[in-house]
Amino acid sequence: MRMIDLIEKKKQGLCLSDDEITWMIDGYVAGDIPDYQMSAFLMAVCFNGLDENETTTLTKAMMMSGDVIDLSAIDGLKADKHSTGGVGDKTSLVLTPMVAATGVPVAKMSGRGLGHTGGTLDKLESIPGFNIYLTTDQFIEQVKDIHLAIIGQTAELVPADRKLYALRDVTATVDSIPLIASSIMSKKLAAGSDAIVLDVKYGNGAFMTTIDDARVLAGEMIRIGESLGRKVEAVISAMGQPLGRAVGNILEVKEAVNALRGDGPDDLMDLCLSAGAELLVMTERCHDTKEARALLIEMIDSGKALEAFRQMVIRQGGDVRYIDNPDLFDTAKEVIAVKAEKDGIIADLHARDLGLASMMLGGGRRVKDDVIDPTVGLILTKKIGDSVCAGDTLVEVHTNTGLSDEVKHLILGACTLGGDGRSMPVIEEIVKGDE
């Protein structure tokens, strides 16, 4: 085979065979296919797409490009959760211990934030001592013992995706649904869990800006997962405003701990309960979502969910005193209030702009090698549908570098007045696979 022939086929809108796709991925990982040829192929995919079989074969080839974790030593059906990325999204820190507390094993590999979106690993690493780099054996043993582990992706897991994503990021080939779906699902499938719930976000703060695109992506990922023998469902959730009230790593950990104590924001808890209930049904822990939601609420009320989180922190080297007393966390030098300039009702809290504001304070990365300041970020004192008077605080800015005119302008521009008093529901719909 020759790579130039595969590029030509896709340029003409023709379908590649399973053997051709597998040969291409193996060759690229081995270094036999140069970046410039793979870039040409990726651009042809952006223009002409991939059919269902091509996307599934690409996912499988990527999944098999490195280690595939075998979780069979852990009893029962194993659960996992993935978010397509958002602002203030600390769902994994709340949902996974809730599910684990019911006895369902949760084996999760997470990623870091980039740009305006946050990453679970960055939040966990803001807990002093927390170690995200467990070996596969340590990962499996911990899930067996306490039903919960969240770690970073190992270098040996899906190397094809690591190479391809880095290339897509610099060649304007990120926004292709088949490429997004294969990237996400190759990692989720290689991580070994039996049941996966996908939080597919849409809106100005998400990679999928429209609900129609979110539905297409969700459907494609569900189809891929089921074709490769996994249970997959998706929650379509809104990212028109940040999730919860905290944006920034330590601030979000504190909010997650409060949620596990029963004092979480309504939108965050609704998402965690809904997605968690789907996982409990998928793993056969509960018969239906009504029973599952009740059980998850019981895990919060009894303190078992918080204890599951504490045990994970302890096992992964974190200082659990910070979970027991979040006031121990370092704080930013200043908290500066950004205030409303007139009366009105919040119509929009542009999530992307607020995420960018947090990034500019040092709470996120412009490029993957940037060092994050875990103490900075934003606390939203108002959400969509809330009334405000001139002089009321809209956002508390936690900063070590003051408040620049640029950041203040971003925040004020993100907080649009003129709404009708209705709040924004976080969950749009739940997409299930074939029954």
Which residue numbers are catalytic?
A: 82, 161, 168, 183, 187
**Distance between CA 223 and CA 8 in Å, rounded?**
28
Beta pairing partners, 339: 393
| Whether 200 contacts 219, CB under 8 Å | no
- Picking from 420, 404, 122, 385, the residue whose alpha carbon sits closest to that of residue 247 is 122
In order of 106, 241, 270, 378, 411, the CA distances from 395 in angstroms are 35, 13, 23, 6, 8
- Picking from 57, 22, 91, 18, the residue whose alpha carbon sits closest to that of residue 239 is 91
In order of 131, 251, 255, 259, 408, the CA distances from 297 in angstroms are 29, 23, 17, 11, 38
Helix axes 304-315, 289-301, angle to 10 degrees: 70
- Picking from 141, 218, 181, 176, the residue whose alpha carbon sits closest to that of residue 48 is 176
Q: In degrees rounded to 5, what are phi and psi of residue 28?
A: -70, -45
**Distance between CA 415 and CA 111 in Å, rounded?**
29
